[in-house]
Structure 1
Amino acid sequence: MARHRSSHPSSAHELLGRLGRLTAQALDHAELHRARVELAMALQRGLLPAGLPTAPGLWTAARYAPARNGLDIGGDWYDGFALPDGTLAFSIGDVQGHDVEAAAFMGQVRIGLRALATGAVDPGEVLGRANELLLSMAGELFATCTFLRFDPATGELSDARAGHVPALWASADGRCGIEDDDAGLPLGILPGEVYPVTRRVLSEPGAVVLVTDGVVEGPSFPIEEGMTQVLSVVRAGAEAEPGRLAADVIKVAERTGHKDDAAVLVLRHDGFHERTGGTEAGTAE
């Protein structure tokens, strides 16, 4: 009678040998993945600004947190810089993807916005030019973004959104809200996209807070509840030191069980009512 050789190990020694080889392969894969994650983290932090600009009556702060599980890293950013005309520009955004490529693409978007802002005062025009620039690169990634311009002389804050999470605001007298104004599509999706601009004067003391979706959305609750939680934090901290407020907002991300990285940008202001006689009402163009 012919005998068929079994594919199973014939001894404990062979079993242990096979297990050892599989373990070594798994460790090599884990080490490679960990190295990739660490590289993405280093690249992310190296591309974020070391500091943010301020102005008389305006204080700023930001926070960044990697994904809770340590795997999804690289796409979120915040930025702030002074423009030649004396105004200040700020941006926050989120690149599709969470790896080294996303981190590198994030750096390109951030640098591109800086360059374009020097030649275009209007935030909508800045985003429009950035959109065309990304499309010309023929890449596969896209980015959501909010771009703001603040004029210290008038207290006017103008902004435009490219598919990004709306800004939240609160004043010292207890009023608060979500600036769910019109927005264009994310950058890098459709040629010729238009990005409406909202303008408002920061007439009363308070805070304007911008976040990425990693702060407000995760397995624990949907984005609507996350926005409500952040708005509550912003209302309670409208007069707080901006670094403290940013730290309190980023804690909401911990409660979402987020699988995405997260960023927060805070603009805390004393109010410009006496200088301008303006109002806080925003108007979309």
Structure 2
Amino acid sequence: MPRKRSMPDADELLERLRWLTAQARERAELQRSQVELAIALQRGMLPRDLPTDPRFRLAVQYAPACYGLNVGGDWYDAFALPDGRIGLSIGDVQGHNIEAAAFMGQVRAGLRALASVTSEPGELLGRTNDLLLSLGSDLFATCTFVRLDPSTGLLESARAGHIPFVWATPDGRSGIAEDYGGPPLGIEQGMEYPVARFRLSTGGVFILLTDGVVEGPRLSVDEGLDHVVRLAGGAAVAGLDAESLAAAVIKGAELVGHEDDAAVLVVGHEGPGLRP
């Protein structure tokens, strides 16, 4: 006859429970530390100061994803170029972990470093793409880079798999850019990125954003972009400042069921009369 297994006594059960509890606490602490490190990486790599020019106003808003272990790799950047123009970038790295946050830093640093060699947006994205591939990472990133000339209001833009920007003018016109982009950064060598050109008029606005602002469980990306277009159009007509518009756009991310990073960069024209 089979022998009956003896049941563990109460002390043994308590000891096992203590061990399991300690293991769960240790894993939770490790996961929390990883999230905190990733968030610190994110915040440490974003610019503390934005370039200033009396003719333009730059404003940013950033809401990191901190649901469970989800820590994304969205970024924004704005910096002075050697010729006096301003470089603007915004992007989103694949993944939601510490590797994504670290890769975001590589993309942003690569763009800045290579912009000292060439600030032409299409060439800059092409060189950054090849640089990232040479690093051997399995991750990729979507990105928009814009070169702004404060003296003329000219914006030159190239996109690498990123969602288009939104624009609006004080005479009531607004919309989504219809420029052509190239593939995300870090997928294939030798990619080309078309450059589109735009010109801001006095009182006009130009909004760069990541998909966490406009896409989620409650809204499709098209619906989200339409919402931002309406916000931009109303702000331009009403003369709302860039900071208030950026805050309104990031708050709108709540409508999409915000579960991802959300970044917004607004360029507002405040200078002498420049027409598109």
TM-score, normalising length: structure 2: 0.93
Partners in 1 of 2:60 and 2:89 — Cα distance? 11
The match for 1:249 is 249
Q: 1:68 to 1:237 in 2, by over 3 A?
A: farther
The match for 2:98 is 100
Out of 106, 122, 125, which is 1:124 matched to? 122
> Is the 2:90–2:209 Cα contact (8 Å) retained in structure 1?
yes
Tell me which moved more, 115-124 or 18-27. Answer: 18-27
Q: 1:2 to 1:200 in 2, by over 3 A?
A: closer
Q: 1:11 to 1:174 in 2, by over 3 A?
A: farther
Tell me which moved more, 68-77 or 98-107. Answer: 68-77
The match for 1:283 is none
The match for 1:148 is 146
The match for 2:225 is 227
Report how far residue 71 of structure 1 moved.
Answer: 2.8
The AA in structure 1 aligned to 2:261 is D
Q: Which runs of 5+ in 2 are unaligned?
A: none
Report how far residue 242 of structure 1 moved.
Answer: 1.6
CA RMSD of aligned residues (A): 1.8
Equivalent runs, 1:109-188 vs 2, <5 Å: 109-188=107-186
Tell me which moved more, 43-52 or 216-225. Answer: 216-225
Q: Deviations over 1:153-197 (max 9, x none)?
A: 111011000000110011122211000310000011111111011
The match for 2:45 is 47
When the two structures are aligned, how many residues end up with a matched partner?
274
Partners in 2 of 1:196 and 1:272 — Cα distance? 29
Report how far residue 68 of structure 1 moved.
Answer: 5.2
Q: 1:25 to 1:90 in 2, by over 3 A?
A: same
Report how far residue 113 of structure 1 moved.
Answer: 0.6
The AA in structure 2 aligned to 1:264 is V
> Is the 1:202–1:271 Cα contact (8 Å) retained in structure 2?
no
Question: How high is the sequence identity, in percent, across the aligned residues?
Answer: 58
Equivalent runs, 1:3-18 vs 2, <5 Å: 3-5=3-5, 9-18=7-16
Out of 19, 22, 26, which is 2:20 matched to? 22
Helix, strand or coil at the partner of 2:31: helix
The match for 1:260 is 260
> Is the 2:154–2:200 Cα contact (8 Å) retained in structure 1?
yes
Q: Which runs of 5+ in 1 are unaligned?
A: 280-285
Q: 1:248 to 1:140 in 2, by over 3 A?
A: same
Report how far residue 152 of structure 1 moved.
Answer: 1.2
